Structure 1
Amino acid sequence: MSTRINPFCLDGRRALLTGSCRGIGFELARGLGQAGAKVLINGRDKERTHAACAKLRDEGLMAEAVVFDVTDYGQSKTAIDDVEKRLGPIDILVNNAGIQHRAPLEEFAPEKWRELMQTNLDAVFYVSQAVARHMIDRKRGKIINIGSVQSELARPSITPYAASKGAVRMLTRGMCADWARYSIQTNGLAPGYFQTELNRALVEDREFSDWLCKRTPAGRWGQVEELCGAAIFLASSASDFVNGQMLYVDGGLTSVV
């Protein structure tokens, strides 16, 4: 009787997750690590990055800290080339680093627009290009870009954020168009509203929270660990013929009116 191989197993694979010291990025790192991957924790703050890495190691997971600023093209390329040489190939890239800034569009400061776009969009291009050059040589790789329900939907006061996440959706499709021929699968993971530090003000806003729970078919906020199954799927061989897609994990929010 033949032994069936688990297509979701990530044993022997190395995953770099940007902006993974806390929040969704940290939870995704934990999930990929529990599926067998060696995770590379990234952040700009050396102390915080190493502390996050140590926490995962204390849980018995394989983790390394990789400190660099994803909004700096030169830093990103140098750091990734160093990882490839020193630690081994990056098999999985999760572009998670992101920021939010809320203001009415007519009052949105240009410097805040630029900061948001540098983190949410430019960094995805910088890091993906640097990693993909190595993946192309190997003819294999997985790239997961973290989008949002705002990749599809707009709300007052967060138009620049929605614009950045909409651009991430199209960048994901473009990466598929350019890199699928090299057996690189690039897909997006788009969370709905999850209870995170970034969303703390919204969670604590009773009026908004009540509206959201009524608007969402599942009737509640998401829990960050509920994103891990989708991430493992997109990072594993189970998704080898899935490319250029956005997987919405949103309790049904984008499916109904």
Structure 2
Amino acid sequence: MHISEFSMNLFSLDGKNAIITGGNSGLGLAFSVALAKAGANVFVPSITTDVEEVKTLVEGEGRRFEFLETNITEPGACKTIVDTCIERLGSVDIIVNCAGICNLGDVDEFDRAKWDPMIAINLTAAFELSYEAMPHMRTQGHGKIINIASLFSFLGGQWSPAYAATKHGIVGFTKAYCDELAQYNIQVNAIAPGYFATKITEATRSNPVTNQRVLDHIPANRWGDVADLMGACVFLASNASDYVNGHTLTVDGGYLVR
């Protein structure tokens, strides 16, 4: 492409179909709305049926919304998700692997009962959904896989060794799949959010001591708002990022530099 051909249309997702796991709440809700605002239809698989808000917001942008109640860790679930999305919407162009959990506990008591569910949801499900979508993306000659990493893809992290391990794993998986799939015009990248003002962080933010401890580490001097992640998601889902591959984009207000 010659520089004269560059256009803001490269950021458009018109006609694209996106699967967003965990797309009905938290960060996933922001990703669903961002992609809809950019033009994509949205398919949300979730174990919970609370989808009225995301459905209203997506359809409010004039896009189609589809939902499938499923447990993404069950055998065969990810194949069913991909097949159902193609059946209902016609293709799978974008995947956002956002679903995740974070069990907490002292290291002495953080056993397999806490470890195994996190590996299954945070890492294995992201692999399996990508694995099932990959042949379809390869056949159509394009695809975008966006994995949701974390600051704990780079740091240790007390009270949840499995969280740090899965988020390190997500970055490694992102690089490995890029290395395999870039030749087919499939881009595999990750977003690593920093500290965001969500329900999960409410306890930390409500405690003056722990809240200030976090803020002291962020050059931007504020917690992130989920809207701060929306532009990064649209960019990585669009043709504007076709030569960005295997990258983990940190959105943290500068946390990692301090």
TM over 0.5: yes
Separation in 2, partners of 1:189, 1:59: 26
3-state SS of 2:108 partner: helix
CA shift for structure 1 position 55: 2.2
Unaligned runs of at least 5 residues, structure 1:
none
Select 2:89's aligned residue among 73, 87, 90.
Answer: 87
Select 1:126's aligned residue among 110, 125, 128.
Answer: 128
Work out whether 1:54 is the aligned partner of 2:55: yes
Work out whether 1:205 is the aligned partner of 2:201: no
Indicate conservation of the 8 Å contact 1:142/1:234, yes or no.
yes
Separation in 2, partners of 1:237, 1:154: 34
3-state SS of 2:199 partner: coil
RMSD over equivalenced CA pairs, Å: 1.7
Q: TM-score, normalised by structure 1?
A: 0.94
- Summarize the alignment of residues 191-202 of structure 1 with structure 2, pairs less than 5 Å apart: 191-202=193-204
- Summarize the alignment of residues 106-185 of structure 1 with structure 2, pairs less than 5 Å apart: 106-185=108-187
Separation in 1, partners of 2:55, 2:31: 16
Q: Identity over the aligned pairs, expressed in percent?
A: 37
Separation in 2, partners of 1:231, 1:126: 21
Residue type of the alignment partner of 1:255: V
Separation in 1, partners of 2:189, 2:5: 32
Per the alignment, residue 254 of structure 1 pairs with 256
3-state SS of 2:12 partner: coil
Per the alignment, residue 236 of structure 2 pairs with 234
The total of aligned residue pairs comes to 254
CA shift for structure 1 position 246: 0.1
**Closer/same/farther in 2, CA of residues 157 and 48 from structure 1, 3 Å limit:** same
Unaligned runs of at least 5 residues, structure 2:
none
Separation in 2, partners of 1:154, 1:69: 29
- Higher mean C-alpha displacement, 76-85 vs 54-63: 54-63
Q: TM-score, normalised by structure 2?
A: 0.93
Per the alignment, residue 12 of structure 2 pairs with 9
Residue type of the alignment partner of 2:112: P
CA shift for structure 1 position 2: 8.4
